[in-house]
A and B are shown apart, each in its own frame.
Chain A
Amino acid sequence: MGTLAERRIGPPLLKAEQISLAFGGVRALSDVSLEIREHEILAIIGPNGAGKTSMLNVINGFYHPQRGTITFKGETRRRMRPHQAAETGIARTFQNVALFRGMTTLDNVMTGRLLRMRRNFLWQALHWGPALKEELEHRSFVERIIDFLEIQAIRKVPVGQLPYGLQKRVELGRALAMEPTLLLLDEPMAGMNVEEKEDMSRFILDVNDEFGTTIALIEHDMSVVMDLSDRVVVLDYGRKIADGPPDSVRRNQDVIDAYLGVSHD
């Protein structure tokens, strides 16, 4: 896998430069710079409270850093809103599942297509002509995702009734329905058993491989991180302490200290 992955990785797709983010007196991120390169799988790791989720929130415009810039697809924005991020092709999943629990798997994944629906509310209410045609196109796209994630059997099941592992997969499906260029996954494997983790890892690799989607993910399970990612960025106390291929990061003394807990004096 290694050599193949290196060959397809392209230039930086997203650049975060000198990001600093504080909530009142709490410094969540200090002067963090990182790049996400086209077609790569980047893992962001770090101990609890290191600022990983804050970093994702900055990337998709949910938090606005006090300092620093985000450049996505060559366009620099100081302030970007989440819906703008979504429109430019950034999709994400959440640490705690954020689906519409009463809606079916199919409908949940369909909501991922909303940004791409061009007909207005009235047309859709009519459910006729161009609106119908548009819906069919979206439905067939969503069906490809359902097939891809092997969730046909739960197509019509309300997601509230599904086990956690499957809900995570549906959430991934909804993110994929947006046809993102950059996919942000916040702990996609938290709370899963070994088998579910293996399944999810395979889907992440397949998404990266089949659709060429760039992926940035936060994960705690080190074996998963080491197997999946092309590059690892390590955050600790809001600062970046390491950045590189999994093997070199694993041997990095700062990283070992951060995880094993050396006293910070």
Chain B
Amino acid sequence: MAVAETERKARPAVRRTALDTIPKLLLDNAARRGRRPAMREKDLGIWQSWSWAEAARQVQDFANGLAALGFRRGDKLGIIGDNRPRLYWAITAAQCLGGVPVPVYQDAVAAEMEFVLEHAEVRFVVAEDQEQVDKLLAVRERLPRLEAIIYDDARGLRHYAYPFLHAYERVQQQGRDFARLNPDFLHGEIAQGRGADLAVILYTSGTTGQPKGVMLTFDNVIIMARRAAEREGLDETEEVLAYLPIAWAGDHIFSYAQSYCTGFCVSCPESGATVMADLREIGPTYFFAPPRIYETILTRVMIRMEDAGWAKRRMFHHFMALARRVGGPILDRAPVSFWDRLLYAVGAALIYGPLKNALGFSRIRIAYTAGEAIGPDLFSFYRSLGINIKQLYAMTEASILCVQPDGQVKPDTVGTPLADVEIRIAENSEVVYRSPGVFAGYYKSPQATAETKQPDGWVHSGDAGFFGDDGHLRIIDRAKDVGKLRNGTLFAPKFLENKLKFFPYIKEAVAFGADRPFAACFINIDADAVGNWAERNGVTYGSYLELAGLDAVYDLVQECVETVNRDLAAEPHLAGSQIHRFLILHKELDADDGELTRTRKVRRRYIGERYQSLVDALYGEARTARIASEVTFEDGRKGTIRAELAIRDVKIAASVAPLRRAG
């Protein structure tokens, strides 16, 4: 494989200990911290908790029960449901017997569930409740291998007279009977487990094509969970709320493997709808959420503040302005003047503390975000409050790869590689990695495995990225979307578009540049934000079309684009892809016109073809371009919008040599 110059070496040797499987860790935790809480669940309005000793007993009873039902080494146990202690225990119980848990997304429809259960050759399933059991019954005829369904919540299931349906408590009871006759059986099974054994199969969500079963060994899961815990200094006193799907790799690491490795307590919310209230009651020290959740929380805070009295509002805005200025540096232990520190302390007492308390973030030490780019404003809001939010880079195929170290947190990187993780950037900018966390393969798909994973252990991530001078990895796009300008400079359209979209005035952006002399883009203004700006500045307009064409609006957008260019100029890898020209589209991009996908992603190629004349104009000499485009109205009628759009040249930031404009 051709590999570019960037390469990070890390400690090659993997430390081995006797505690190389989750079941062994469970017994160890039960012996060493038997009285400490392992699991909590809010049930009937009260937080019920189980110590490590009690959890171990629960797991052992269930494992013995499974054995009594005929579950054997190598069998697969399907797990379907929300975050419930019993479902987490079922995962461990299967692992005790040398079986492989296969968590399934709880919101999957019956057909998706059928595919995974069939593909994984599942013999036993633990389902949370009637809803999941009903789905299973609907597809049971097509799953000849499925022998038994065990349910956690009996509600509504009393009249289901099927011989293959078992209550969780009954299985545990059978387990206790089984253990009386075979007292040494389970410990023998646990002792047989090895770190190289298959620990879990996690199915990818399968947005493109069929889901693939990612096989992870105990070594994969435990070593990476430990590396991440070492980096962050996690210990048994952490508090975690498990609210993301059990079938998702992130939850498997944060709420499951790390709990076993460090001994911290995992709390399960009362229901999906109560997560925010439960968050507040638990006050986690360690929290994970995708950017969209942080955004929802921020929006709620802002709306509540708008409804507050003027005194509170003034105070809030005053201290938030202070926090934006000094909060981040204080969190990063950077030098801040005594007076500012004093004011910040006053703000903490009056605003930040109560606010964090209301959100459930009073005790937070580490809050992670990953999965998508997070807006710098959103990011700095949390950091300015003193919430240590940071980004990480993780994949189902490799657990956690990179985490931002404390004190070096930035909104646009995913951090530095963990110990034992090697990351290289291939010639096409794709991130390739090798680590002890790298998966064993895709279940029953040797071909897909071979396409992703090299025989020497290097894995293609499918993401394009680069390392900055600070040693941080930056992910810029999907590798297949990244192209090159005609002069060979890297061009990552989504990276540019995301940077542009972080400005409130810009709703969508479409960047062009692959095999072109320079980067240029279409902009869609955000009608609400720009309209609001126009109102405040006394700019009058009659329609979206008119607003989008105003010189003042062009100035506004040009400022945004120039800011992006200045950011890009600071990155040697991307400086060449600064945006030279842009135009503001006369209509909003719309899924009905096929310009966006239903999940609101821009369809760059289609837009390029549809507005070919505008793209040509961007790369021509003209200052304006004419367009007549067909639009589909909400009622299905079609019409035509004609417009003459202005094209603006943008200042290229000075720190790099200007590119030749080869027409």
Contact = CB atoms under 8 A, between A and B. Distances in A.
Interface of A: 4, 139-140, 143-144, 146-148, 150, 152-153, 155-156, 206, 209-210
Given A209-B158, A210-B155, A143 B274 contact: no
Given A206-B155, A210-B155, A153 B43 contact: no
A150 B155 contact: no
B271 A206 contact: no
A152 B156 contact: no
B156 A209 contact: yes
Nearest to B156: A206
A152 B45 contact: yes
Closest 3 pairs (CB-CB, A-B): A153-B273, A143-B44, A143-B45
A140 B44 CA distance: 7
B274 to A, nearest CB: 5
Contacts of A146: 44-45
A209 B157 CA distance: 10
B159 interface: yes
A209 B159 contact: yes
B595 interface: no
Contact of B270 (A4, A139, A152, A156): A152
Nearest to A150: B271
Contacts of A209: 156, 158-159
Given A144-B44, A152-B273, A206-B156, 4 more contacts: A143-B45, A150-B271, A153-B277, A210-B156
29 contacts: A4-B159, A139-B45, A143-B44, A143-B45, A143-B46, A144-B44, A146-B44, A146-B45, A147-B43, A147-B44, A148-B155, A150-B271, A152-B42, A152-B45, A152-B270, A152-B271, A153-B271, A153-B273, A153-B274, A153-B277, A155-B45, A156-B277, A206-B155, A209-B156, A209-B158, A209-B159, A210-B155, A210-B156, A210-B158
A148 B154 CA distance: 12
Contacts of A144: 44
A150 B273 CA distance: 10
Nearest to B46: A143
A144 B45 CA distance: 9
A142 to B, nearest CB: 9
Q: Pick from A153, A156, A210 the residue with the most CB of B within 10 Å.
A: A153
Interface of B: 42-46, 155-156, 158-159, 270-271, 273-274, 277
B159 to A, nearest CB: 6
Contacts of B156: 206, 209-210
A146 B274 CA distance: 13
Contacts of A150: 271
Nearest to B154: A210
A203 B30 CA distance: 41
Contacts of B46: 143
Contacts of A140: 44
A209 B160 CA distance: 12
Contacts of A153: 270-271, 273-274, 277
Contacts of A152: 42, 45, 270-271, 273-274
Contacts of A143: 44-46
A128 B313 CA distance: 42
Contacts, number: 34
Nearest to A146: B45
Q: Pick from B45, B274, B277 the residue with the most CB of A within 10 Å.
A: B45
Nearest to A106: B45
A188 B46 CA distance: 30
Nearest to A1: B159
Nearest to B161: A4
A34 to B, nearest CB: 28
A209 B45 CA distance: 24
Contacts of A4: 159
B181 to A, nearest CB: 35
A220 B159 CA distance: 29
Contacts of A148: 155
A177 B270 CA distance: 21
Contacts of B270: 152-153
B503 to A, nearest CB: 35
A148 B42 CA distance: 14
Contacts of B274: 152-153
Contacts of B155: 148, 206, 210
Nearest to A139: B45
Contacts of A210: 155-156, 158
Contacts of B277: 153, 156
A252 B377 CA distance: 68
A143 B155 CA distance: 15
B46 to A, nearest CB: 8
Nearest to B44: A143
A2 to B, nearest CB: 12
Contacts of B43: 147
A110 to B, nearest CB: 12
A153 B272 CA distance: 9
A75 to B, nearest CB: 31
A138 to B, nearest CB: 13
Contacts of A139: 45
A234 B330 CA distance: 74
A213 B288 CA distance: 44
A156 B45 CA distance: 11
Q: Pick from A140, A152, A206 the residue with the most CB of B within 10 Å.
A: A152
B270 to A, nearest CB: 5
A74 B156 CA distance: 31
A206 B159 CA distance: 11
Nearest to A152: B270
B658 to A, nearest CB: 58
Contacts of B44: 140, 143-144, 146-147
Nearest to B269: A152
A148 B277 CA distance: 19
A220 B406 CA distance: 63
Nearest to B276: A153
Nearest to A155: B45
A63 B458 CA distance: 81
Nearest to A153: B273
A70 B271 CA distance: 43
Contacts of B159: 4, 209
A144 B46 CA distance: 11
B160 to A, nearest CB: 11
A147 B129 CA distance: 13
A212 to B, nearest CB: 11
A155 B273 CA distance: 11
A144 B44 CA distance: 6
A209 B43 CA distance: 22
Contacts of A156: 277
A210 B158 CA distance: 8
Nearest to A202: B156
Contacts of A147: 43-44
A43 to B, nearest CB: 21
Nearest to B153: A147
A82 B42 CA distance: 37
B280 to A, nearest CB: 11
A155 B271 CA distance: 12
A152 B46 CA distance: 11
A146 B42 CA distance: 13
A206 B44 CA distance: 18
A206 to B, nearest CB: 6
A219 B270 CA distance: 33
A206 B130 CA distance: 12
Nearest to A140: B44
A218 B325 CA distance: 63
A160 B42 CA distance: 26
A156 B274 CA distance: 11
Contacts of B42: 152
A209 B274 CA distance: 27
A4 B270 CA distance: 32
A152 B44 CA distance: 8
A221 B70 CA distance: 49
Q: Pick from A143, A147, A156, A209 the residue with the most CB of B within 10 Å.
A: A147
